[in-house]
Amino acid sequence: MTQVGEGIVAAIVKLLSDEYLFAAIAEVTFASGIPIFGIEAGGAETELPAAGTPHWGTGVTYPAVYVREGGTGGTNTLTVKVEWSQKGRDGSAKLKGESVDGLIVIEGDFSISGERGDAVVNCSFTKRPTVVANYGRGIGFVWTVTAGGQTVDAPGASMLELFFVDAEPKPVGWSEYQNHYLRIIDWATAWAAGAAGEAAVFAALWGKFSNGTRARVPHVTGFSYWKTTSCAQNLINLLDPSFDAHSKGWSCRAIAHTFMACLSLHGIRCLEVIPNTAGGTRMFLVHNWQVDPSPTPNWENGPDLYYAGSWVDSSSSQHYDAVSSSLTKYKLTGYTTEALSHDMRKVPGVPAQGQNLAPLGFINHWIVEVGGALYDTSYGLRHPNSMTTYASNSLGGWLIDTLPDQYQGGFLWLTTKTSRAFRTYHISRNTLVRHNGSSN
């Protein structure tokens, strides 16, 4: 009597001697036309993967970026190398790969001939996510090959790393970098995941920098604005693994360029805007300041100047630390015994990205113009496209000059140290100088 096991063995032997089909995926190479670059220690940029290297099949899986279904521009092509062993299945064949969530389908046609062989199949995405999606940690795929009326599983390429953006990315064209970086791609797609269309994507990205009235503290990246005076000044520093941005912080320039890079990845046009101090001024002072309606005449030779305190250099986010003053009011006959009156006082705030303590002031700043409005990415505020309005909404005053000053410090406050007393104008006295930088 034939046993069950004997019957199975006989069936396999018959199958192998008559007709059979086995297939496997050997390589996957994406062809979206959107290069991805990584930043190595020291700031070197490396394309991922190197030219001629498949995204899957070399023991290392590399990511790829495509435009979502319904998005503008981009391609949906790729190539898949298939290997087979077959008998009696010669002729046309179809390759299909489907993600485990059912949102991605890849298909291509090829021909099979000979008992063993391989083919590089020109494929396309016949289904993609209809919204921005981040599969940067990998998405599972199941592949099948159909030939001669038989469909078999094709093992291999079971996990692929993919990102889907809203529209064809615009080129990066500012400062010393020109590429789309993997970390930015990861952020920009994770932050806008589930969104579709420019308005929704922009709102999702801006929402990571603003709650509508202020900057995000803490920020999702973990970075803090001007945490130290050696903070990251550009994207290369920020993304360089050998530069510890978490302990050093990021600058207005690095924040603005991060936001612009995220917008560019989704095909959103933006412009780099750099406000500079006005002629005859040394620095603009960042809110928050309390400014008296008119200056107290501390100096007869400068009755229209405010006194904004005495300060010393600091390595902290404030750039300067407030100290006591030894100066007194000045009349034409010389200094009096009457103490200077503070008519412009620094008060806590305003929050910047990841930082509750706003720096004292700057000689320039980096913000972003999008859709005819100004976005101060450091402080999370939107402004009309006017330097005058921007200044009145965001700044406290102008530093005109400083006077030599002294304060008591050191051990038991017994040491006399030098400081500088700030003399300032109200912000309405001058106008910021606007420089338009690069756009995408």
User: Is 149's pLDDT higher than 80?
Assistant: yes
pLDDT at site 15: 52
In the chain, what is the straight-line distance between the N-terminal and C-terminal CA atoms, in Å?
A: 78
Q: What is the pLDDT of residue 4?
A: 39
Side-chain half-sphere CA neighbours of 75 within 13 A: 13
Give me the pLDDT at residue 13, please. Answer: 46
- pLDDT reported for residue 10: 42
What DSSP character marks residue 59? S
Q: pLDDT averaged over the chain?
A: 93
Q: How far is CA 217 from CA 227, 228, 235, 313, in A?
A: 13, 17, 20, 25
Is cis: bond before 49, omega within 30 of 0? yes
What are the phi and psi torsion angles at 262 (to 5°)? -65, -40
User: Quick one: average pLDDT of 256-268?
Assistant: 98
- Comparing 130-144, 344-358, 423-437, the range with the smallest average pLDDT is 344-358
Q: Which is more confidently placed, 348 or 76?
A: 76
What pLDDT is attached to residue 14? Answer: 47
pLDDT of 1 above 60: no
At residue 9, the pLDDT reads 45
Closest Cα to residue 34, out of 5, 60, 71?
Answer: 71
- Residue 221 pLDDT > 60, yes or no? yes
Scored b (16 or more CB within 10 A) or e, 176-192 reads ebebbbbbbbbbbbbbb
- Tell how far CA 172 is from the center of its chain: 12
Structure tokens at 188: 């920009």
Residue 352 gets which letter from DSSP? B
Contacts of 157 (CB under 8 A, 6+ apart): 25, 28, 56, 57, 80, 97, 141, 143
The CA angle 23-25-26, to the nearest 5 degrees, is: 120
Contact 71, 128 (CB under 8 A): no
The pLDDT assigned to 17 comes to: 58
| Model confidence at 129: pLDDT above 70 | yes
